[in-house]
């Protein structure tokens, strides 16, 4: 008889616990799309934030392993938030994202302490894993 799971998040194919993620973006449609995509690929989204201030608060409260962070936020930019998150314990991996190309940001991605950058149009579990 097949086993039926009541888990709301798909099992991680590697057999390891799913990596926890905080999604930070001021656009609800992108947050919803990113959540669905990442959960389908075995990540566990544990929270969302709409601006830099709430991102830092939620990261402190939830302790995610990964923060997917939009570069352009209403109250600050993602680079400043990434630098703040480096002070958290444990330090989450930060991956910046934007609808713009990485080349538009020059050396700011590396200077922020983020693991890297993924354009929103190329967001996937594999793209994140390549930076982790």
Q: How many residues does the chain have?
A: 132
Q: Of the candidates 84, 62, 65, which has an alpha carbon nearest to the alpha carbon of residue 73?
A: 84
Report residue 75 as tokens. 């109250």
Q: Which residue has the higher pLDDT, 48 or 125?
A: 48
What confidence score (pLDDT) does residue 16 get? 60
The mean pLDDT value of the chain amounts to 87
Whether residue 46 is predicted with pLDDT greater than 50 in this model: the reply is yes
Domain annotation for the chain: domains and CATH numbers = 20-131 (3.40.50.2300)
Q: Of the candidates 122, 5, 6, 131, which has an alpha carbon nearest to the alpha carbon of residue 65?
A: 131
What confidence score (pLDDT) does residue 1 get? 34
pLDDT in tens, 67-104: 999 999 999 999 999 999 988 788 999 999 999 988 88
Report residue 97 as tokens. 């994202």
What confidence score (pLDDT) does residue 102 get? 81
Q: Is cis: bond before 25, omega within 30 of 0? A: no
Report residue 3 as tokens. 């086993």
């Amino acid at each position: 008889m097949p086993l039926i799971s009541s888990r709301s998040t798909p099992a991680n194919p590697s057999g390891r616990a799913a990596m926890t993620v905080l999604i930070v973006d001021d656009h609800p449609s992108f947050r919803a799309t990113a959540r669905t995509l990442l959960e389908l690929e075995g990540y566990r989204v544990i929270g969302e934030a709409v601006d830099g201030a709430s991102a830092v608060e939620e990261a402190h409260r939830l302790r995610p392993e990964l923060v997917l962070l939009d570069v352009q936020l209403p109250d600050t930019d993602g680079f400043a938030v990434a630098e703040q998150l480096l002070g958290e314990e444990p330090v989450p991996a930060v991956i910046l994202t934007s609808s713009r190309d990485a080349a538009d940001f020059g050396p700011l991605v590396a200077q922020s302490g983020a693991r890297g950058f993924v354009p929103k149009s190329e967001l996937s579990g594999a793209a994140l894993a390549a930076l982790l």
